Amino acid sequence: MFLTYNCATGADILRVSENAKSEGMFQVTMLPGDGVGPELMHAVKEVFKAASVPVVFDEHHLSEVQNMASEEKLDQVVDSMKESKVALIGKIHTPMEYKGELASYDMRLRRKLDLFANVVHVKSLPGYKTRHNNLDLVIIREQTEGEYSSLEHESAKGVIECLKIITRAKSQRIAKFAFDYATKKGRSKVTAVHKANIMKLGDGLFLQCCEEVAELYPKIKFDTMIIDNCCMQLVQNPYQFDVLVMPNLYGNIIDNLAAGLVGGAGVVPGESYSAEYAVFEMGARHPFAQAVGRNIANPTAMLLSAANMLRHLNLEFHSNLISDAVKKVIKVGKVRTRDLGGYSTTSDFVKSVIDNLHPHYGAHGGHGGLRHVHGFHPSRDSCPGCLGPLASSSLFPPCPPGNLLLPSNKSSLCMTGLGTLTAPALPSLPPCEGWLWQCESAGTAPSPPTWVRGREATPGPSSPSWAPVCTTISQKRMNNDLSPLLRYGHTGWVSAPRKLWALAQ
């Protein structure tokens, strides 16, 4: 099985993690959250299943409004995160009424994991027109201190004091994160947003730390802007911004304001980072509390967040597959949820995304999708039609860059490492990217399959149980072995008594 969903707690977490590793899959912690969160997570599961994403979800439920929150449940989520290091979460609502504890479970979880940096990428979606099109800016906020420190008390009757905490260490840390992010992503400018003209000590310290860090990055432009002016400038001329860094409260407000510039909370993905963990979520609060159970919520933001999560796991192909499908649905414009001016349901949108994952493949009944190499074992899977004709390219989805497409029974198998085989030249092969498997046949797939180890055509057992060996193949050797086998064009592969190399990460 290439995609499973588990709801595990306590001791089961270790078993889930071990099973995921043994299957060559990735464990991801999932918190559906409140409101439409469970519906959006269901959308993610459906799309992941259709795309054959090699992920095992360790699902937990943490909710104050549904009386599903406790220290035990919080610890279970943290234990799961210690195993997976990655999570996909929905919005965990915080009750308005005071029940004796100021810090919500959402805040406590972020503090336990030290998720200090929240990143929201606000980018226009082609095909959906707004007042400002072609926007591309990033909002980074510190989210472990500031006004959200849960330090409130009644100093005298009718007098409430709320403490805002700003520290040099955390201000420097978030500033460095912002500049590192800008450097890594090829961004040119960082803007520090503050209110140091009024809060001279608190925001003054934050601004000072940003200025000090900026001196270490001379290639990145740096400027500052007062928060109230920033709100106005975002509405009037958002193109002047690239990366914005700010304290907690300001970022929470700016996230939602900026999301409104490109279509609303339903289309903007977000993520939070610590030194160890990465949590992927919606970039802004979803407004569809009244939409629970009505099948009308927009899953775009959650699907894009899930795609970003896959990219974080180095599953570039699956990430691009899903994000491209989502963006294509938006661009075509035939299927849009109510928040984008349409009448489509959540299910309609998800179905359209799935249809755009493999537009040709699905039309021919290929419900199996792509089988990912991480789930393939030569000891239990048949020889994947090493030789023998491959159906026309209209039947099978094109293999992504860095992969080789093999037919395997009713579905297909993408083996990473060789690259897409297209005329006129074979792709380059980096040295030793993983395991080398070789299958040999005299014109047709053998039954039982014959597997050989390494680079020489030495017959192996008919039911092999050996582990593949890391091997390096030169470009010349690969050309010699593959050239006689492959024919380019729509006919795919042809039978030939030659060896076939398949490199699997």
Confirm whether 1-128+276-357 and 133-262 share one CATH topology: yes
pLDDT tens digits along 465-476: 222 322 333 333
pLDDT at 479: 36
Please name the CATH architecture into which domain 1-128+276-357 falls.
Answer: 3-Layer(aba) Sandwich (3.40)
C-alpha 319/C-alpha 2 separation (Å) is 16
Amino acid 177: pLDDT: 97
Q: CATH number of 133-262: 3.40.718.10, 3.20.20.80, 3.40.50.1370, 2.60.40.1510?
A: 3.40.718.10
In the chain, where the domains are located = 1-128+276-357, 133-262, 378-505
Asked whether the beta carbons of 64 and 76 are under 8 A apart, the reply is no
Residues with Cβ < 8 Å from 22, sequence gap 6 or more?
Answer: none
Q: What is the full DSSP assignment across 471-497?
A: ----HHHHHHHHTTTB--STT-B---S
Averaged pLDDT, 198-214: 96
Which DSSP state fits 259?
H
Contact 298, 307 (CB under 8 A): no
Q: What is the average pLDDT value for the chain, to the nearest integer?
A: 72
Both tokens of 447, joined, read 């039954």
Assigned token pair, 59: 């699902």
Q: What is the pLDDT of residue 164?
A: 93
Is-above-0.75 flag for pTM? no
| Cα 78 from chain centroid (whole Å) | 20
* Predicted pLDDT at 451: 30
- Per-residue confidence band for 95, with pLDDT thresholds at 50, 70 and 90: low
C-alpha 416: how far from chain center: 19
**Helix or strand holding residue 347 (H, E):** helix 346-355
Q: Please give the average per-residue pLDDT across 121-127, as a whole number.
A: 95
Contacts of 196 (CB under 8 A, 6+ apart): 203, 204, 206, 207, 226
Distance CA 5, CA 28 (A): 10
Query: Average pLDDT of 134-139?
Result: 96
CA distances from 357 to 128, 322, 362 (A): 20, 7, 9
Q: What is the pLDDT of residue 61?
A: 86
Tell me: the pLDDT tens digits for 148-188? 888 888 899 999 999 999 999 999 999 999 999 999 999 99
